[in-house]
Amino acid sequence: MDVDAYLDRIAAARTGTPDAARLRALHHAHLTAVPFENLDIHRGVRVSLDGDDLFDKIVRRERGGFCYELNGLFALLLEELGYTVTRAQARVFGAERLGPPYDHLALIVSAPGAPGERWLVDVGFGDHSTYPLDLAARGDQDDPGGRFLLTDTADGDLDVLRDGKPQYRLETRPRDLTDFAATCWFQQTAPESHFTRKTVCTRLTSGGRVTISDRTLITTTAAGRTETPLEPGEALLAAYREHFGIDLPRGTAFRPPQLP
């Protein structure tokens, strides 16, 4: 991996000690530079979990991705920088039930100088914590993204709550990225997947968040929330360029994914 190119992509310092402070800085930098987005799913482009393909998409072509891509590549960067990384599967809480196994990829990270400290790192959940969460803490953790709480389940997993609402159930057992391939395929092809139902592109900003949901531009700041309709075609593509640096080919059309 070209580590310097990745750090330049997220506007992070090229040097530094691999400690908790740098991890916080990298986490924040990633969230503000790299969007959570599912545009390829609606362009008929299959998502690849190969490390070289992830680097090409996110770093060289300055795109984003969803959890398997964003946390998948971020894990490789952290390992290159000296951190110890566990890839962990999680099941996302829906309206009525938990999602399937491998529904989400999150990371458990420790620094070389403090192996007893472990952090829940997640740059691939869309709108989540701005900074890593202390995996050992069981009290409230205040973060710019909300008040987070980790609670133990009877089966030895961890429920991650944000402002009192369950987000996902984390299994702390180590997994390989290839273990997520089947559910990744489901997420990008199945009508039941929320990723196939509409396009989304979102990233953290210095003052809040910017999102394009289908053809609506949503900006949130401390002053409130604004929604602006976007016309399909060039106006929509121009908004992706302006707010996310995503330069899609002229004439790009989004369509519902089809099962192969």
- Measure Cα distances from 107 to 86, 92, 131, 183 in Å: 6, 15, 13, 17
Round to whole Å and give the CA distance between 207 and 202: 14
d(CA 125, CA 44): 22
140 is a catalytic site residue: no
| C-beta contacts of 100-104 below 8 A and 24+ residues apart | 100/183, 100/186, 101/183, 102/175, 102/179, 102/180, 102/182, 102/183, 102/184, 103/168, 103/183, 103/187, 104/67, 104/168
Q: Which among 225, 201, 164, 178 has a CA at the least distance from the CA of 38?
A: 201
Q: Is 163 a catalytic residue?
A: no
Catalytic residue among 27, 28, 30, 67: 67
- CA angle centred on 36, ends 190 and 20, rounded to 5°: 125
Tokens 């599912």 found at: 38
Among 30, 104, 128, 243, the active-site one is 104
Q: Which of 122, 128, 157, 184 is catalytic?
A: 122
247 counts as catalytic:
no
Largest CA distance in the chain: 52
Enzyme catalytic residues? 67, 104, 122
